[in-house]
A and B are shown apart, each in its own frame.
Chain A
Amino acid sequence: SQQGEEDPQALSIQEGENATMNCSYKTSINNLQWYRQNSGRGLVHLILIRSNEREKHSGRLRVTLDTSKKSSSLLITASRAADTASYFCATPLSSNTGKLIFGQGTTLQVKP
């Protein structure tokens, strides 16, 4: 079963708008990661947030983590057409194997 599940499955916005994607997970974690996948390419790591962090920023990305609700959100501000991609959250399967469980992703389309 999936550990992380993203919501919404698809999102379409205009350039300049903000995009928010949510991820819910089931078990306790020590970190949560977000990845981006452009069409026909491999996944690229965006940001990692640890369980003792509530919010983290990287450029136009803002990630929040609420461990009490077992949820995370990824906010992309002032979106650009180049942000069009699929976004995945990932959580560790266990603490010492390096294995991650990926959600099914949110497909973001940013219209110019």
Chain B
Amino acid sequence: DAGITQSPRHKVTETGTPVTLRCHQTENHRYMYWYRQDPGHGLRLIHYSYGVKDTDKGEVSDGYSVSRSKTEDFLLTLESATSSQTSVYFCASSSGQDILSYNEQFFGPGTRLTVL
């Protein structure tokens, strides 16, 4: 696997609390992504980043924000967690070297978040 780690790996929190998930990659990849995976919905893109301080929304971005202050780190924040945000969250990265998007994505191990 590419050097992508996520922390924490598991978290239980209460409704209304802020939560930050961290993704760290050591591949110097340009692009980074946050997905959530839920039964019946597959993998859905929350936010992505195409460079330091450059981010954009995915298909399920409501209730989430992201920040990328360094190439290697991409943070996902749930401003006020809700039970509907209980899910498994995956971070991914890709080199972005090929402008035609012939780029595979490398995934982290996932964070299992439970909002009570």
Contacts and interface: CB of A to CB of B under 8 A. Distances in A.
Interface of A: 2, 30-31, 33, 40-45, 48, 50, 88, 90, 92-105
B42 A43 contact: no
A2 B42 contact: yes
Contact of B102 (A43, A48, A99): A48
A42 B111 CA distance: 10
Interface in B56-111: 56, 58, 90, 92, 94, 96, 99-110
A96 B42 contact: no
B23 to A, nearest CB: 11
B100 A42 contact: no
Interface of B: 1, 4, 30-31, 33, 35, 40-43, 45, 48, 50, 56, 58, 90, 92, 94, 96, 99-110
Given A50-B102, A95-B100, A97-B101, A44 B107 contact: yes
B58 A42 contact: no
Given A99-B45, A103-B42, A104-B41, A45 B101 contact: no
A42 B109 contact: yes
Given A43-B90, A95-B101, A97-B101, A102 B43 contact: yes
A53 to B, nearest CB: 11
Contact of A45 (B33, B35, B100, B106): B106
26 contacts: A2-B42, A30-B100, A30-B101, A30-B102, A42-B92, A43-B105, A44-B1, A44-B107, A45-B106, A48-B104, A88-B42, A90-B105, A94-B101, A95-B101, A97-B31, A98-B31, A98-B101, A98-B105, A99-B48, A99-B101, A100-B45, A100-B105, A101-B45, A102-B42, A103-B42, A104-B41
